[in-house]
Structure 1
């Protein structure tokens, strides 16, 4: 901690962690790590997936206790037995993996644990709703209905509910672990205005985001973790993006893409959709995917990209139009039919849609191929172990043991498990929904290589990404969607970030400067 204090003179941190060590079995998650955030400061915490960021957040939030090390709040030593105790000390946290109750309302989730009570100690539901309505209006999240069920909300709106829940406790320290990862540009701007206001009030914010442009726009100082250690703390303006990445990974990373040559159309594409229609979400849409082709989906968020991927995978029972794989019509209506046709989906929300969180890493890896190992209700554990080990090696999944719960993995490694599960099926068509959301630069590179390898081996990839640079760098062509329709096709010299943004702006879009981030 000495170096941190030296940089700040005699100012006292609002929240500080010094010499934190945390082990999980044989895995050393934090190795004498330090972090200090001062009043009136927004402090970024950077690091590759698995570097220890989320473990530090969970220690500061009372989920884990450190093995050794100290935590001070306003200069006084503290320890938290649970998250409620941390919250009572004024620490509010928005976790990377959301912790909402799907079958409760927005208001009930926001005020959980601090519900107003009336006679006989019963929850005063009317006051609860009014308090949440006032909070949402103060945060300018006016489109959310306090009575709406969380299960019916989009991922972006669920993230806003999580943020409102953290702010309902009026925290002195707010921690956001990838709190912007599912938000649209306009919502990010709104959140940044809130964070700047908290800074003016003398509070502290610890901000974790893999979108470096966001951190550079917002934060005052940055601490970088690598392999469980804090390797650098410095003013944000003193480190450019290249230096941050080098500190994160301990090496240089080349991020340049090569322009992709087009894949010529064939008589029988790998996938063809004609007149695809889903209620008012997808409207008479035509699409082809060739073997060896990576096709991007662009446009503003919420224009039907996710519904298109779900429709192709078979998630909608009522589906108009026709889908063909290898020239043969396929039945739709259940994901099992999509899987049987050789279609794989890496979904929007890996925690809810892609993984079984209470189970171990190994069964999550083999779930989609379990019939291979099952005979008369018995599983051949040797074959299952061999496949899981091969998948771990192929995707470099960082885990001390495949018997650990999948929820113990970092976000990037969880995403690798989702992809590995589908690679094992031998699928020919891969549907990706924003696969690099919330993962670090190094892990992104591994995903880019895997997508390129899939195309090189004759697979077809349909990729939606909120990062336009990924679409330009990875895709042979990009289809821009507006209001459930494909309104532009960009390829060759006509494919650029500016062209994607301009095509998406035909129905109105946030500022190009923000969208480029």
Structure 2
């Protein structure tokens, strides 16, 4: 296998959106039989690049060559026909169709001109086995699956198209650790078969494990391409953001904590929460750690009133608290930044301004009528608070980069001045610069006397950001770590419900 063959080449490719230059005279190529990492902050041009390669967008200028011949894709179907397949960060699954129907939605097996449902189901079982998702029923609807399993179905959809170039846009950001390992193995297998993989990730450890070559983009420009290991991580980050980052996490401020803001005792819900006891005080960030599926997300959603039938005792600011509904929890001073900003946190086709106002229309209304002056001032304040990069607040929120979309989700809740902020993996799929801004914001919030309950799948993030970390296993807190005891080894041991002495 000759891994030096450039299967895809871009020459002087630009893409303009009105007066905005999303890609600026980009030269780029990737090799057959290699994994090529694309790095850059949100808004650097990565998404525009892969949309051009996969036929979603046409370049405003420049040329594209595939396998040595000039091409011009006007649709994803044309790109797919050549073998260029993209797994986008935004899932394309139809929630009320079955797993099998989603996997073969574009090209189902047929018999006598009709869809062969028996063969489709068997083919779905085969591809599910390939991606180690034998536990998924091909007849189950997508709506029934967890976010991690939905992402794996998206990967299955791509693999059945037998790609020659597979593009993965943050395809591992929503996955469990086991599923991430499966994706690593799949990509290694594809590389060995001569497939070119283009891999976009904000997780530097993933890039270091997987990629053979790396390209850095910034402000729509291709900055540099180099072999893995040629540059140190600090040098790569500096290329990405155009400045030096001195510290990834802000210092934990030494300050006396306030009163207990939120207290939960023996919280239970179905099979997911099995007696959770936790306290969060004013002025601290409490992390939730552990393996995926141990009840972290259900705890946050349960506290916010998203579930019926939650049992147990809770107090909020010293008063009895029953999370009966999101509206009630919001009124009592809780805010939730959900796991999936695209489907749970934003109305993508609505404007940036309307999204920011969604939880707070009452605060900008008089006698039930929106006061345009109040609304405009609130929107302007929210955009300034989180330094959201917008052209106009009237633009659809879907036009923003992923990092700026996440800022909108956070800003709309901060407009309500909540006492307790529940964060469900808020930095998933965003760039290193925006992550730092969120870390600083969290510290600013607790410095102002707020409380933060923070779930993250990134152990380094938990250690760097949190004052305490409560590790969950089987729907309950099994360990509380702080100070010198807050280490990755201790989190992993507690995540597996192993006593510390067992791993010493």
CA distance in 2, matches of 1:375, 1:101: 40
Counterparts of 1:86-485 in structure 2, within 5 Å, are 86-119=79-112, 121-257=113-249, 260=252, 269-375=260-366, 378-485=369-476
CA distance in 1, matches of 2:455, 2:117: 40
1:376-424: CA deviation from partner (whole Å, max 9, x where unpaired):
5532223222211221122111122222211111111111010001011
The aligned residue for residue 78 of structure 1 is 71
The aligned residue for residue 43 of structure 1 is 36
Residues 263 and 290, structure 1, Cα contact 8 Å, conserved in 2: no
The 3-state SS of whatever aligns with 1:498 is: helix
1:176-214: CA deviation from partner (whole Å, max 9, x where unpaired):
000110112221111111111111111100001111111
Shift of 1:465: 0.7
The 3-state SS of whatever aligns with 1:426 is: coil
CA distance in 2, matches of 1:116, 1:122: 8
1:64-107: CA deviation from partner (whole Å, max 9, x where unpaired):
11111111110111122221221122111111111111111111
Shift of 1:24: 1.8
Residues 4 and 32, structure 2, Cα contact 8 Å, conserved in 1: no
Residues 45 and 207, structure 1, Cα contact 8 Å, conserved in 2: yes
Work out which of the residue numbers 41, 56, 60 in structure 2 matches 1:63: 56
Shift of 1:158: 0.8
**Structure 1 unmatched ranges of 5 or more:** 1-8, 513-517
CA distance in 2, matches of 1:421, 1:495: 32
**Structure 2 unmatched ranges of 5 or more:** none
How high is the TM-score relative to the length of structure 2? 0.95
Higher mean alpha-carbon deviation, 190-199 vs 18-27, is at 18-27
Shift of 1:351: 0.6
Residues 261 and 476, structure 1, Cα contact 8 Å, conserved in 2: no
How high is the TM-score relative to the length of structure 1? 0.93
Higher mean alpha-carbon deviation, 325-334 vs 280-289, is at 325-334
The 3-state SS of whatever aligns with 2:422 is: strand
The 3-state SS of whatever aligns with 1:237 is: coil
Residues 3 and 34, structure 2, Cα contact 8 Å, conserved in 1: no
The 3-state SS of whatever aligns with 1:32 is: strand
Shift of 1:261: 6.5
CA distance in 2, matches of 1:339, 1:403: 26
CA distance in 1, matches of 2:17, 2:47: 13
Higher mean alpha-carbon deviation, 228-237 vs 80-89, is at 80-89
Shift of 1:471: 1.0
1:447-500: CA deviation from partner (whole Å, max 9, x where unpaired):
000000010000000001111111111111110000000000111221122211
Residues 93 and 166, structure 1, Cα contact 8 Å, conserved in 2: yes
